[in-house]
Structure 1
Amino acid sequence: MTSRPTAARIRVLIALSRPAVALLFTLYAALGLAQAGHAEDRLLLAECLVPVMAFLLCSVCVNDLSDQAIDRVNLPGDRSRPLVTAAAGSRDLVVMAVVSAAVALGAAFVLGPRPGLLILAALAVSAGYSLRPVRLADRGAVAALVLPACYVALPYLLALTATRTALQARDLLMLLGLYTGFIGRILLKDFRDVRGDTLFGKRTFLVRHGRRATCLFSACCWTVGSCVILAATPRPTLVLGCSYALCLAAALVILRALAGEVGHRREEALIAGAAAIGRGMLILQLAHLAMDQAGWGALARSTGVGALLVLVLAQTISVVRHGPATDLTIAALQTETTPSPDGHGRPKADRPAARA
C-alpha cells in the first residue's frame, strides 16, 4: 500500500477493522474482565484489546482474500470489502495479515503465556475457517459453531486468562451462555450472503435448511443463551431479569417476522434490529457487573439497568423501522448529490427521495 495516500490507507484499515465486529470484541473482552472482578480496569482492557484487535484484522484479511469471488456477488461496491472496490490489492491484505498476526502474538505473550497460546490457537482456527484444504466456512453448521469461538471465546477467555490462573465454573457457564446466544445471532448473517453462497456451493445453515428452520434454531439459541447468562450472573436483580426477558421477547418477534417472506430492505432492517438487541443485552450484562463491583446498591443497579433498557429498545425500534444507520447515510448522500436540471447537487422537486 506504499503508493496509496495516507488517507486512503486509513480508510482501508477502518473498513477492514469491521467497526461493528470490533465493538463486539470489545464488549466480550470487557465482560471477561468484569467476570474476573476487574470491570473498572481500563488499562488492562486496553492491553487486552491490542492482541484481540490485531487478531480481528488478520482474520478479516485472510477471510476477504479467500472469499473475494463470493463477495463480488454478495457485496458489490461494499466499502467494507476493499478487494471488491479495488481500494486495496491482494498483496496489501497479505502484508496486513502477516503484520497483524505478529502483533497479536507479541502483545498476547506480553500479557502472559496463556493469552499467547490462546491467540496462537485462535489464529490456527481462523486460518482453518477461511483457507483450503480445511475451509470450515463451507461446512454449514460447523461454520456456525466455529466462528463464535473466535468472536466470543477468544476476547472473553483472553481477558480472563490475563487476570486469573484458573477458570471457575461460573466463568465457563457465562462463556456457554454468551457462545450459545451468539450462534443464534451469527446465523442471521447468512441472509445477506445467501445468493453468492448458493452460487458458489457454500452450504450454510440457511442454504441447507431454509429461512424458517434458521429462524427457529436462532430463536432456540437466543433463549437458551439468555437463560444461561442469567444463571451465571452474580447477584442478579429482578430488573435485570425482566430486562433480559423483554429483550428476548423483542428478538423473538423480529425472528418471527424474518421467518416469513420479506423484501430485501425489510430483511436488512430486521437483522440490524436483532443485532442491536444482541449488543444491548451484552451492555446490560456489563453494566450490571460493573455496578455490582463498584458497590452500587440493588436499587441503584436496577435504575441504571432500567435506563439502559429504554435506550436499547428505542434504538432497536428505530433500526427496525428505518434500517441500519449506514443505509440512512448512503440514502441521504444519494439524495443530496442527485443532479438537478440547473446542474446543482439538489434533487428535483418532483423526484422521490431515496428510500431509507
Structure 2
Amino acid sequence: MRGGQGVRRLAVRVRVLVALGRPAVALLFALYTALGLAQAGHAEDRLLFAECVVPVVAFLLCSVCVNDLSDEAIDRVNLPGHWSRPLVTAAAGSRNLVVTAAVSAVVALGSASLLGLRPGVLMVAALALSAGYSLRPVRLADRGAVAALALPACYVALPYLLGLTATGAAVGPRDLMMLGGLYIGFVGRILLKDFRDVRGDALFGKRTFLVRHGRRATCLFSACCWVIGTCVILAATPRPTPAFVASYGVCLAAVLLILRALANEVGHRREEALIAGAAVIGRGLLVLQLAHVAMGQAGWGTGVQALVVGGVLLVTVGQVVGLVRYGPGTGLTTASLGQEAAEASSPGDRALVVNAPAR
C-alpha cells in the first residue's frame, strides 16, 4: 500500500516538473541552443549539445518557478485550473516552487560554468534578467513594450549564445546578425501570448503592448517584427538555397495571413487556434534554419537539401492547417492534476479589453 502511494507521489512530482518545464518552451530553448552550436560549426556534436541543454533547461525551470510565484494572482484569472500552472491547481505549493527555483539556479550556473567562462557569465546575466523580469521592485513584466523586448533575451539570446560560446568560437558579425534576426522574430511571436492573458493583465495593471494599444496595433507590430526578423535571418544565412528561401517565404506569407485574421477575430477558440498556428510556424522556421546549416556543413547536395526542406515545410503547413481549422488539442488535462479546465473569460469580456487601446 505504501509502495503504491509512493509511486503515485513520484508520478505527481514528475508531472509537476513537466508542467513547470513548459515542454513547448523547452523545445524552443533546445532549438536555439542547437542553432548556436551549428552557427559555430558543431551541428553534429551531440555530446556538447547535451551538455548545453542541461543549464538551459535548468534556467527555464528556475525562471518559470519565479514567474509563477510572482504571477499567481494573475494566473488564477487567466489560467484557472490549467495543467501548466501547478501552483494554481494546487498540484504544488509555494515552498515546492521556491526549492525547485533555488536548485535549478544552482544547477544552471554550475553546469554553464563547466562549459567555460563565457557561458558562465552569460548564465549569471540571464538569471539576473529573469529575476528582474518577475520580481519587484524592478518587475519588467509590468512595463509593456519593455517586457516584450526583455523576455527574448532569455528565450533566444541565452540558449543561442551559450551554444555558440560553449564551442570556444569567437562571436562574429554574422553570428550577431543571426541573433538579431532571431530576436526580432521572437518579439513578434511573444506579443501574441498576451492575447491569452489579456483579461488578468488588464485587471492587475499589467501594461502589456496589447492592453495599451489594442488588437490591431499589436498584430501590425507583430507582422513588422516577423518580416524584419525573417529578412535579417536570410541575410545572415550562409549560402541559402532557392528551396530554403522559398520555404521561408511560404511560412512568412502564412503568418501574415494569420495575423490579418487575428486582427479582426474575437472568438476565444478561434483566437487560440490562430496563435497556435503562428507558434508552429515559428518552430518550423527554426527547424528549417537548423536543417539548412547542418546539411551545408555535412556537404549534402542541393537536391537532397531541397527534399528535406520541402518535407519540413509540408509537415509545418499541415500542422498549421489542422490547428487553424480544428483548434489546438487539449494536451495534458487538468483533471489529471486534480481540477477541471475552465475558460479564462467569456469572448465578450475579452473583446471589450482587446479591441480598445488603453487611455
The alignment status of 1:82 with 2:110, answered yes or no, reads no
Cα distance in 2 for partners of 1:152, 1:78 equals 26
Q: Name which of 266, 269, 272 aligns with 1:265.
A: 269
Aligned equivalent of 2:324, options 312, 320, 326: 320
Alignment gaps of 5+ in structure 1: 338-356
| Structure 2 counterpart of 1:115 | 119
Cα displacement string for residues 82-109 of structure 1 (whole angstroms, at most 9, x for unaligned residues) = 1100000001000000000000001001
Provide the residue aligned with 1:345 in structure 2: none
2:26 matched residue in structure 1 = 22
The C-alpha deviation readout for 1:103-123, integer Å capped at 9, x for no partner, is 000100110011011001000
Q: Which of 44, 47, 52 is the aligned partner of 1:43?
A: 47
Please report how far the alpha carbon of residue 269 of structure 1 lies from its aligned counterpart in structure 2 after TM superposition.
Answer: 0.3
Cα deviation 1:224-262 (Å, max 9, x = unaligned)? 000110110011001110100000000000000000033
Instruction: For residue 77 of structure 1, give the secondary structure of its aligned residue in structure 2.
Output: coil
Residue of 192, 197, 214 corresponding to 1:193 = 197
SS in 2 for 1:78: coil
Distance 1:121 1:287 in 2: 30
Q: State the partner residue of 2:343.
A: none
Deviations along 1:47-74, whole A, 9 cap, x unmatched?
0000000000000000000000000000
> How far does residue 206 in structure 1 lie from its aligned partner after superposition?
0.1
Partner of residue 293, structure 1: 297
> Once the 2 structures are TM-superposed, how far is the Cα of residue 166 of structure 1 from its aligned partner?
1.8
Please say if residues 52 and 163 of structure 2, whose CA atoms lie closer than 8 Å, have aligned partners that are also in contact.
Answer: yes
How large is the RMSD of aligned CA atoms in angstroms?
1.8
| 1:245 and 2:249 matched | yes
Contact 2:83 2:333 in 1 (8 A): no
How far did 1:3 drift? 12
Q: Match for residue 282 of structure 2? A: 278
**Alignment equivalent of 1:125, drawn from 123, 129, 135:** 129
Equivalent in 53, 74, 91 of residue 70 of structure 1 = 74
Q: Deviations over 1:177-230 (max 9, x none)?
A: 000000000000000000000000000000000000000000000000001101
Distance 1:79 1:119 in 2: 28
- Secondary structure of 1:319 counterpart: helix
What does residue 256 of structure 1 align with? 260
Distance across 2 between alignment mates of 1:307 and 1:12: 35
Letter in 2 for 1:296: W
CA distance in 1, matches of 2:139, 2:75: 16
- d(CA) in 2 for partners of 1:84 and 1:11? 14
> RCO (CA 8 Å, sep 6+): is it higher in 1 or 2?
2
In structure 2, the partner of 1:216 is 220
Aligned residue in 2 for 1:235:
239
Mean CA deviation greater in 178-187 or 157-166: 157-166
Q: Match of 2:162, as an amino acid? A: L
Q: Identify the match of residue 160 of structure 2 among 136, 156, 161.
A: 156
1:285-331: CA deviations, max 9, x gaps?
Answer: 1111111111101121112111111111011101111111226x759
Which amino acid counterpart does residue 176 of structure 2 have in structure 1? L
Q: Is this contact kept in 1: 2:63–2:131, CA < 8 A?
A: yes
The aligned residue for residue 134 of structure 1 is 138
SS for the counterpart of 1:262 is: coil
- The reply on whether 1:184 has 2:188 as its aligned counterpart is yes
Check 1:228–1:201 CA distance in 2 against 1; reply closer, same or farther (3 A cut).
Answer: same
In structure 1, C-alpha distance between the alignment counterparts of 2:250 and 2:235, rounded to whole Å: 17
Name the SS for the 2:54 alignment partner.
helix
Question: Which of 140, 146, 149 is residue 145 of structure 1 equivalent to?
Answer: 149
Letter in 2 for 1:127: A
1:135-174 deviation digits (Å, cap 9, x = unpaired) = 0000000000000000000000000010134201110000
Count of matched residue positions in the alignment of Structure 1 and Structure 2: 332
Which stretches in structure 2 are left out of the alignment for 5+ residues? 1-5, 341-359
Instruction: Give the drift of 1:4.
Output: 8.0
